[in-house]
Amino acid sequence: MVSPSVILIAIFVYWMIGKNVQTSMTDIHTAAQAAGAKPHTFVGLENYGALLASDDFQHSLKNLLIYTVVFLGGTMAFGFLWSWLLDRPVPGQAVFRSVLLAPMAVSFIAAGVVWRWLLNSNQDAQASGLNRLFQMVGLGFLQNSWWNNVHWGISAIAMVAVWQMSGYVMAMFLAGFRGVPDELREAGRVDGASGWQLYRHVIFPQLRPVALSAVIVIAHMSLKAFDLIMSISKAANYQTKVPAIDMFLFKGSYDYANAATVGTILLGIVAILIIPYLVHMSRSDS
């Protein structure tokens, strides 16, 4: 009964990956070749070498690294802090939890509409968005060009991703806190652990598996960063491009070989991240 699903996944995941790797090893760089009107040849790993050596693609990889560091650091910090604050009863607990998680229900595209306005790079008299807000609350020195900075602009977009996804990490950690057996808390208290000691020595160590899952989920999302960049900046903007954007641009200009190469590189990065995790999970299972 699962065979239809197995066949579909075999075709649409595995066979497509195979076709993609095959395309990445050709010289299909023009529309005529893409349409099959002109011949193409096998070039081996040439596209990978050329792409990885190009300044342009290295810039994308550097942006992806910055994006991942900010996104991962931010969501883990806020997600953990919020779940910790919510671990014990506090007035309005349910409302807080719902509000903090709410941005997740909205698409990156819709979020991008408002954040494009908030991250407007105009400053001083022309400023709107966050730069204007900074002036209003006496923090004018914080004004900056946000995603328009060629070196660090991508971190402004990662900040939006943090806004959107910290609630997700919070929900994961909350489940982790709930999973700590009451007997364990009780035993710690009997041993004379104070509030902070109880957390530090008894509860936090129990959260390690959840933290690992959160890192994997967020890092994996980060590698696919695309929607937010498309809606806040745009594909053609050099300062905010990442591999997923390159792939879109190559595909749009019928450079199928390079588009496929970028896709395969992304898959490779995901595999490096995911396979040890899956192995680790199946080991701890048995």
Partner 1 sequence: MAVAIEDRLVARTAPGARRPHGPASALRFALLLLSCVLILIPVYVLIVTSFKGQGDATAAHAWDLPSRWVAENWKKAWSGDVATPAQAPGVLRSLTLVVPASILSALLGSMNGYVFAKWRFPYSNLVFTFLLFGMFLPYQAVMVPLVELMLRVDVLPSGIPQLIFLHVVYGIPITTLIFRNYYASIPQELVEAARVDGAGFFRTYRSVVLPNSVPGFVVVLIWQFTSIWNDFLFAVFFTNASNGPVTITLNNLAQGSILANYGASMAGALIASFPTILVYILLGRYFIGGLMAGSVKA
In what helix (H) or strand (E) does residue 57 lie, and over which residues does it extend? Answer: helix 55-87
Half-sphere exposure (Cβ direction) of 112: Cα atoms closer than 13 Å: 16
Q: Which of 40, 46, 220, 253 binds partner 1 (CB under 8 A)?
A: 220
Q: Which of 42, 53, 55, 91 binds partner 1 (CB under 8 A)?
A: 91
Q: Which residue has the tokens 């190009």?
A: 54
Contact positions with partner 1 (CB under 8 A) in 161-200: 163, 168, 171-172, 175, 182, 185-186, 189, 195, 198
Q: How far is the CB of 211 from partner 1 (least distance, A)?
A: 11
Q: Which of 68, 83, 155, 264 binds partner 1 (CB under 8 A)?
A: 264
Q: Measured from the CB atom, is 32 or 136 closer to partner 1?
A: 136
CA distance 112 to 116: 6
| DSSP class per residue in 145-192 | -GGG-TTTHHHHHHHHHHHHHHHHHHHHHHHHHHHS-HHHHHHHHHTT
| Torsion of Cα atoms, 216 then 219 then 225 then 231, to 10° | 90
Q: Measured from the CB atom, is 81 or 151 closer to partner 1?
A: 81
Half-sphere exposure (Cβ direction) of 237: Cα atoms closer than 13 Å: 19
Contact positions with partner 1 (CB under 8 A) in 93-132: 96, 98-118, 122, 125-129, 132
CA distance 159 to 212: 21
Q: How far is the CB of 192 from partner 1 (least distance, A)?
A: 13
Q: How far is the CB of 51 from partner 1 (least distance, A)?
A: 14
Q: How far is the CB of 15 from partner 1 (least distance, A)?
A: 8
CA distance 159 to 124: 22
Q: Measured from the CB atom, is 52 or 106 closer to partner 1?
A: 106
Q: How far is the CB of 278 from partner 1 (least distance, A)?
A: 8
Q: Which of 51, 147, 223, 241 binds partner 1 (CB under 8 A)?
A: 223
End-to-end CA distance of the chain: 27
Give the largest CA-CA distance in the chain. Answer: 79
Q: Measured from the CB atom, is 106 or 151 closer to partner 1?
A: 106
Q: How far is the CB of 82 from partner 1 (least distance, A)?
A: 6
Contact positions with partner 1 (CB under 8 A) in 34-63: none
Work out the angle at residue 27's Cα, subtended by the Cα atoms of residues 249 and 236, and round it to the nearest 5 degrees: 10
Residue 15: Cβ within 10 Å count: 11
Q: Measured from the CB atom, is 112 or 153 closer to partner 1?
A: 112
210 touching partner 1, by CB under 8 A: yes
Contact positions with partner 1 (CB under 8 A) in 231-260: 231, 234, 243-244, 247-248, 251, 256, 259-260
5 touching partner 1, by CB under 8 A: yes
